[in-house]
Structure formats: structure tokens, C-alpha cells
Amino acid sequence: MCFFAHRASGKPTPQAPNSELPRIHQSLSNKAIAILYHPKPMLNRLAHPRVSTLALTLASLLLASCQSPTRAQYDVNGGWITYGTMTETVRGIDPEVTVESAATVAEGTQIVVLSGTVSKVCATMGCWLEFKGESGATILVMNKDHAFFVPRNCTGRSAHAIGHVVTREQSIELLQHLAMDAGAPQSEIDAIVAPKTSVIFIADAVMLPPGGLEKVVERLPSEQDATSVDTSMMPSASTNDAPTASPEGAQP
């Protein structure tokens, strides 16, 4: 007889023998556990249209968070100035790297977003920069093919660059040229007597915060073909593609 029914009807609840109480309690406990852990009620709830819609909404929000703009894209949308050709960058698609982690990026054609602080800039035309990381490490950022220039007074500013990471041997001539552009003393320039292999960032665009930046230098007609320094650094560059100079006096 169900003693719950007797309690609801106001009738006195029959007392089970003391020997039966443990068995009754155990039986009720087992049934409660079976109800709580039975898989079917949970499956039925998951199959409910409202629950399914909620799950899809949460999945969509998670996917959207993976597709959010990179820090560079976010700053550009907020008013940072872009020098060069800007392409939209998205987290999860375009890797974001620091000066310290740039060396670990595999060389290739994938777009990479680099962030750092400008520690040096070409004082002649603004055709290259040096980014410094939090640890003090630096990386050379070269504007692709001299296609654009940056303000020469941007030293000390936070900056982003979009482009590719390459590893190249820098010739003595190039190293001396960079030192000269940075305003190094002649003694420091003359001390460069050996080539150096370095990780270099070839930038399609550089982003800087607005305010107080000078107007960029305009390319002179005599400098239209002066792109050999940057072109030799590109991932797709090949010595087989370079034009071969004709012997002096030879007819074409």
C-alpha cells in the first residue's frame, strides 16, 4: 500500500515493520537515481526546438568570435592611418605575430599581421622601419618594392604591418645602406664587413596611429627603378628571374 496516498487523503500512514524500512528506503533511492540519470529525458530536452535553436545560436556566436578582426584591422577601423595596400585581416585566418614570434613563422605566401613599436625608420625616404618587441628584440620591416613610404618621424609609436616573413642574407652593401639611412656615424658604417642572415618582414602595408605625423616623401623620377633592395627580399624572387646585363658594347 502506498503510504504517500494515505498522507494525501488524511488517513494515518501505515507503519512498516522495522525490518522493512531499510529495504523501502533503498528501493526509493534507486528509483530516484534512475529518474535523475535516465538518458531519455535529457535527449528529449535536447531534441526540443527551443533548445536546438539555442545551441545553434551559441555555435554561431562562437564562430563569429573566431572571425573577429585582428588588432591591426580593429585599429584601422578606429582611425589608424594605413600606408601601402591594406587587406582585411581576420583572426583565425591571418596569424597575428609579435617581433619575438615572427622567426617561428614558416616562410611562404600567407599573410601575417606583425605588431610592435617603431624603433628605427629610414631617415632618407621612410622606405623601411625597425620594429621592437617587449623583450627588446627587433625585426627589419621593408616596404615591398618601395611601393610606399611612411612618415620619417614615427619612431616610438606603436605600429602594425601586414605582409610576409622571409629569411634572407643581407649583403654588406645592404647593411651599410640601412645604417646610412638610419643616420649611423661613418665609423659604424665602416665597421660592417660581413653579410648577415636575418628574419625580415616584407610589408604590403604599415598602420600607424594618427596625429603629429609628417607628410610622406614623394618618389622622385630618378628613383622609379630603385627597387632592387626590396625586390631581392621577396619570397617569390629568384635569381633566375633577374635580368642579365649585356656586355659593354654588345648589340641587343
Q: What mean pLDDT is reported for the chain?
A: 76
* Environment class of 132 (CB within 10 Å of its CB; exposed 0-12, middle 13-18, buried 19+): middle
The span from the CA of 174 to the CA of 43, in Å, is: 68
Least confident of 8-12, 104-108, 222-226: 222-226
pLDDT at position 50: 60
pLDDT tens figures, 193-231: 999 999 999 999 999 999 999 999 886 545 554 444 443
In terms of Cβ atoms closer than 10 Å to its own Cβ (0-12, 13-18, 19+), residue 83 is: buried
> Helix 49-66 crosses helix 39-46 at what angle (to 10 degrees)?
70
Residue 46 has φ and ψ, to the nearest 5°, of -65, -30
Residue 151: per-residue pLDDT: 97
Domains along the chain? 3-59 (no CATH), 71-235 (2.40.50.200)
Dihedral in degrees, nearest 10, Cα atoms 239, 194, 139, 147: -40
- Over residues 75-87, mean pLDDT: 94
Does the pLDDT value for residue 4 go beyond 60? Answer: no
Q: In this predicted structure, which of 9-18, 115-124, 156-165 has the lowest mean pLDDT?
A: 9-18
